[in-house]
Structures are given as C-alpha cells and as structure tokens.
Amino acid sequence: MSAAANAGMVLVAAILVCALAGAAIGSLFDASFPLAVAGVFVGFGAGLRLVYTRFRDL
C-alpha cells in the first residue's frame, strides 16, 4: 500500500474516532450531534497533525 493511501486512512480514522467520541460524550448531555460535529473538526486537526508527524520524511 502506498504512503498516500496510508496517510488518507490515518486522516479518516482520526476524524471518525473523534466524531464518535464527541457523539458518545454528547449523548450523556443530550447534545450528541453538536459534539459529533465538533469532533469532526477536532479529528481533522488531529489527523493532519498525525499525518504530518508520521510522513514528514517523504
């Protein structure tokens, strides 16, 4: 598998994990959708950071 495919999967995985975590936390406070959306944005930032640090040498 190419480095670009790995980088894409890392980015998507980070977005999904953060969105699901936001939805899970939001379900406790009856605000699952807003926190899931916030999780998508946090996951995008975290995913970009992960991709940058892991694939910096390419």
How far is the C-alpha of 53 from the C-alpha of 25, rounded, in Å? 28
pLDDT value of residue 58: 74
pLDDT value of residue 35: 97
pLDDT value of residue 57: 85
How far is the C-alpha of 19 from the C-alpha of 56, rounded, in Å? 25
Two tokens, residue 33: 């959708």
Distance of CA 33 to the CA centre of its chain: 16
Report pTM.
0.91
Q: What is the mean pLDDT of residues 25-54?
A: 97
- pLDDT at 18 exceeding the cut of 90: yes
- pLDDT at 13 exceeding the cut of 90: yes
pLDDT digits (tens, 9 = 90+) for 20-37: 999 999 999 999 999 999
Cβ–Cβ contacts within 10 Å for residue 54, how many?
13
Judge residue 15's burial from the number of C-beta atoms within 10 Å of its C-beta, 0-12 exposed, 13-18 middle, 19 or more buried: buried
